[in-house]
Chain A
């Protein structure tokens, strides 16, 4: 059966727990890596951009789609018991690594069955 390779993007606060969950499900996980650039220019207030959220990305390799579904259900449970410092709803974006296809976002209220895991 073909392996499933996907990325999870979440805040640095949530990421250690997500990686721990992946390992629990037998999913290989890369080290988390910052999504944002440390090389960006400093800009002036006219077109002021959003306050950054410091997001990290991990790349995961699962042996089957079923494993992915079980893992994402566990991520949903993690979101239900987590809180973000900034008061925003905790969430994890799931993206197919190679194609960059958006699989969906896992929040405390996501329907995992509805996520487009092919």
Chain B
């Protein structure tokens, strides 16, 4: 996995890898227009992209920002999104208690869940944890299991699908993205867009699953269109799929009920905290009770679809969509009251700002449902209703200061240490603009106090991920986890130990993926600087380069063995391509991994904010 543009559920920020997305001026302008929701600029810049050779890549990159903006929108607009963010907020609020307990026993074993199990404790040679830590670990493990259960793939004669909350968020984001490209670029642009993916089959499985399921359930009418020109094989290659009812159903399914024990609802209705279950219940009810609407192939009216789904929710779950959201916001407020007891400005402020956005979104939904739930509205308005924070990341590290107007979030600076001036010792990995992207749009929803989210991005969120999953997390910025670890060690005085298997992220990158990301040009060996023939490259991930001490030392020597070489190695978190010939030399250096917990003590990983 090579991070390009991602939405972080722990900080609600969009992360973009600068070196990958900044292909050229035209693409950068379209990306800027998309982020800021500037419709006129989007129209102008789409015209400039038409007819380019690498149109598909440019369209994928630019529209990815709209996709991620939609995720931000849905984390505010749905109870599932809010629930996912609460998972992290709870950890943020409990971090002092976790560290207190960690200091008592001298170290913390991660993911925290491992300390609950007597067999794993025996493997680690540790005693039962203090009661407070035990209780927190139980709560985190429970929530993690619930999320995993909702994500379990569902098998059918149409294939294996994931239809839980995360898949539903993806379906809405992808639909918005796809409509965005079609609307502003036309059919040709859309064809280039869907063709330019690394793996078409995976793409279909991930983003087409809910449409297939909707078709099978009978809530997505299909009208077959004529075959493509020039094709005479008798196969119809295009169909018009009306997804209005489906997207209303998905939006409603994402309003899961996380207060099942506090309900006072009439008998005969069901409560479900699982979006997958809710989706199935809604689809079945619609297919049975709204047959005429489900079979309408000459164009569905969006408001009719909304009304049918809203009524279905009232009948099946006992609450209309906005009522479900209102209950969840109340629940959020009750949590905020508990967070206030922490006295932590960040934990409290982030929760307050989040609730404020949820209330604004709720009011918009109550007044005009399409403005919030319709992916068409979102696409055509370039997502101008929301203004998420965008973190510009550079996994190779950019030397010097962050650009003018940006706040650096993850950086390193020992350039003046010892009274010397060594500019190669100063760089940044992540920075964010101080001014909101759509500063001109007064009613765009954005956090009132973005500065409170900076510490969330660079320390609270990575720390929470370490507690929940150890280092086995897909990172947004290469060094973020080590960054958090060192911060914790320095500020809190707790040694972190990782249970075997949770010490490193999954770090395999296929050669084909790296070639795809580098746009089909020659793949050059990062050690020999010679082109690597197709099928002969090995990709060494940043974690691989760091987890084998002998390989790390060899690489630094290869770079020159001096202070600049050492700091180049520390700075660079990009994957390295290696030729088959060079791997003969490197493979023997990859036999012994760095021992458990040794990262923190190793000077190779000293980093500073």
Residues of A within 8 A of B (CB): 5, 7, 12, 28-31, 33-54, 57, 59-61, 85-87, 95, 97-98, 100
Contacts and interface: CB of A to CB of B under 8 A. Distances in A.
Interface in B498-539: 500-501, 513, 516-517
Given A52-B151, A100-B593, A40 B473 contact: yes
Which of A7, A29, A44, A95 has most B Cβ within 10 Å?
Answer: A44
Interface in B14-51: 15
B123 interface: yes
The main secondary structure of chain A at its interface with chain B is loop
20 contacts: A5-B123, A35-B472, A37-B473, A39-B9, A42-B7, A44-B5, A44-B60, A44-B67, A45-B60, A45-B174, A46-B64, A46-B197, A47-B198, A47-B516, A48-B203, A48-B206, A52-B162, A57-B501, A85-B155, A98-B500
A100 B501 contact: yes
B122 A61 contact: yes
A49 B205 CA distance: 10
B501 A7 contact: yes
A102 B116 CA distance: 26
A42 to B, nearest CB: 5
A40 B111 CA distance: 14
Interface stretch (B142-150, B262-270, B413-421, B440-448): B142-150
B543 to A, nearest CB: 13
Contacts of A49: 1, 202
Nearest to A85: B155
Contacts of B202: 48-51
B477 to A, nearest CB: 11
Contacts of A39: 9-10, 88, 464-465, 468-469, 473
Interface in B101-122: 111, 113-114, 116-120, 122
A32 to B, nearest CB: 10
Contacts of B232: none
A36 B151 CA distance: 11
Contacts of B476: 41
Nearest to B14: A41
Contacts of B113: 33
A51 B170 contact: no
A48 B474 CA distance: 13
A48 B197 contact: yes
Given A44-B4, A46-B198, A51 B162 contact: yes
A97 B122 CA distance: 12
Nearest to A33: B113
Contacts of A31: 116-117, 119
A95 B499 CA distance: 14
5 smallest A-B Cβ distances: which pairs? A44-B64, A85-B155, A41-B6, A30-B119, A86-B160
Given A38-B469, A42-B6, A46-B61, 9 more contacts: A31-B116, A34-B148, A35-B472, A39-B465, A42-B173, A46-B60, A48-B203, A54-B152, A100-B593
Nearest to A28: B119
A53 B153 contact: yes
A4 to B, nearest CB: 12
Nearest to B10: A39
Nearest to A57: B501
B166 A42 contact: yes
A106 B464 CA distance: 35
A54 B464 contact: no
Interface string B55-89: 00100110110011001000000000000000110
A26 B1 CA distance: 40
Nearest to A88: B160
Interface in B345-387: none
Contacts of B87: 38
B244 to A, nearest CB: 22
Which of B5, B119, B197, B465 has most A Cβ within 10 Å?
Answer: B119
A28 B474 CA distance: 31
A35 B152 CA distance: 13
A15 to B, nearest CB: 12
A7 to B, nearest CB: 6
B345 to A, nearest CB: 24
Nearest to B147: A38
B501 A42 contact: no
B155 A29 contact: no
Given A34-B144, A86-B155, A51 B4 contact: no
A14 to B, nearest CB: 13
B501 A45 contact: no
Nearest to A84: B155
A47 B517 CA distance: 8
Nearest to B461: A39
A31 B115 CA distance: 11
Contacts of B119: 28-31, 59-61
A37 to B, nearest CB: 4
B206 A42 contact: no
B8 interface: yes
A104 B334 CA distance: 50
A47 B474 CA distance: 13
A42 B147 CA distance: 14
A97 B500 contact: yes
